[in-house]
Amino acid sequence: MPLGMRLVTWNINSLRLRLPVLEKLDATLAPDIICLQETKVPDPLFPADALRNMGFEHLHYKGMKSYNGVAILSRHPITPLEKLPDWHGKEDCRHIGAQVHLPSGPVELHDFYVPAGGDIPDPETNPKFAHKLAFVEEVTEWFTTRKRDRTVLVGDFNIAPLEHDVWSHKQLLNVVSHTPPETERLNAWLNVGFVDAMRHFVPASEKLYTWWSYRNRDWKKSNRGRRLDHVWITPDLVPDLTGMTVVREARDWDTPSDHVPVIVDFSL
DNA sequence: ATGGTCGAAGATCGA
């Protein structure tokens, strides 16, 4: 195994349907650890053998029928984090975590799939939006009391916090994913003690997206993207950052997800 | 302002 850790986060939108493109990602970009969201597969049907054959010997996953689901695929040994909170009283498979045992020492890794929040940005009339806001608040509170070093948070946070994380700040201010109640809460979570590893490499003044809707005739031409997927790290890991890649070409792979993989490289 | 397209289901629901 080469020196350094290559970490990927990807909302794959059905793991079983997209095993072929996952193999393509693995073959072309050789990640050491992949965190997936929206696997949409119950645990008994999880394709563990196929993933082990790809070289990911260490697996941790939590899925359910039809919706949600998260998974960590690793070439390094991992110890799953037990007894993580049951956010918002729901057992809906939106968070798993693990200690990753790297040659340089353990790193704590969290994989999140934050609720999308429905269409109407009003917690009074839209319970999905209320759930989303509450989820972020609960997670924020939880991390304030947890150790905050050698920790990495990744996932589909379903919020694009910065002006240039969306194609039109003005037109999306009242669209779920970019409303002030969401972006304020995401910033509060970040400010518990994390660093935005993607923006470490790309200044806030530059557009940066990880998701393009299926509902555009030509995603590349219209380019109405949003940065919904994130990699956050504790400040002690910043000196170990060596690179970041948004795998845009994956949006054109055969039967693509609407999200593309995000790679972060570490000298760990 | 609207609708557009996916995936898992096996009708719609969630995104």
Residue whose CA is minimally distant from B14 C1': A67
Q: Tell me the residue range of the domain where A247 lies.
A: 5-266
pLDDT at A262: 98
pLDDT at A89: 86
Largest CA distance in chain A: 52
CA distance A3 to A131: 41
Q: Which nucleotide is nearest to A66 (CA to C1')?
A: B8
Structure token digits, residue A94: 């939106």
Vertex A164: Cα angle to A158 and A167 (nearest 5):
75
* b/e code A76-102 from CB counts within 10 Å (16+ = b): bebeeeeeeeebbeeebbbbbbbebeb
CA distance A105 to A208: 32
| Element holding A24 (H helix, E strand) | helix A19-29
Q: What share of chain A is helix, strand, coil (3-state, %, to 5)?
A: 30, 25, 45
Domains: count for chain A: 1
Determine whether the distance from the CB of A48 to the nearest atom of strand B is below 7 Å: no
Residue A177: exposure state from Cβ atoms within 10 A (0-12, 13-18, ≥19): buried
What's the one-letter identity of residue A88?
A: H
Read off the CATH number of the domain in which A261 is found.
3.60.10.10
pLDDT at A90: 86
Determine whether the distance from the CB of A174 to the nearest atom of strand B is below 7 Å: no
A151-156 and A58-62: which strand pairing? unpaired
What's the one-letter identity of residue A20?
A: P
Q: Which nucleotide is nearest to A255 (CA to C1')?
A: B6
Structure token digits, residue A96: 């798993």
pLDDT at A2: 54
Q: Say which residue the tokens 């995401």 belong to.
A: A186
CA distance A207 to A163: 8
- Each of the 268 residues of chain A gets a pLDDT tens digit; together they read 457 999 999 999 999 999 999 999 999 999 999 999 999 999 999 999 999 999 999 999 999 999 999 999 999 999 999 989 999 888 899 999 999 999 999 999 999 999 999 999 999 999 999 999 999 999 999 999 998 899 999 999 999 999 999 999 999 999 999 999 999 999 999 999 999 999 999 999 999 999 999 999 999 999 999 999 999 999 999 999 999 999 999 999 999 999 999 999 999 9
CA distance A176 to A143: 24
Give the distance, in angstroms, between residue A267 CA and nucleotide B13 C1': 43
| Chain A window 244-263, residues with Cβ within 7 A of nucleic strand B | 255
Residue whose CA is minimally distant from B15 C1': A116
Q: Which nucleotide is nearest to A259 (CA to C1')?
A: B15
| Predicted model pTM | 0.97
In A90-224, the DSSP E strands lie at 95-102, 105-113, 151-156, 195-196, 211-212
CA distance A131 to A129: 5
Determine whether the distance from the CB of A40 to the nearest atom of strand B is below 7 Å: yes
Q: Is A158 flagged in the annotation as binding?
A: yes
Give the distance, in angstroms, between residue A212 CA and nucleotide B11 C1': 28
In chain A, the DSSP E strands lie at 5-11, 33-37, 58-62, 70-74, 78-80, 95-102, 105-113, 151-156, 195-196, 211-212, 225-226, 229-233, 241-246, 262-266
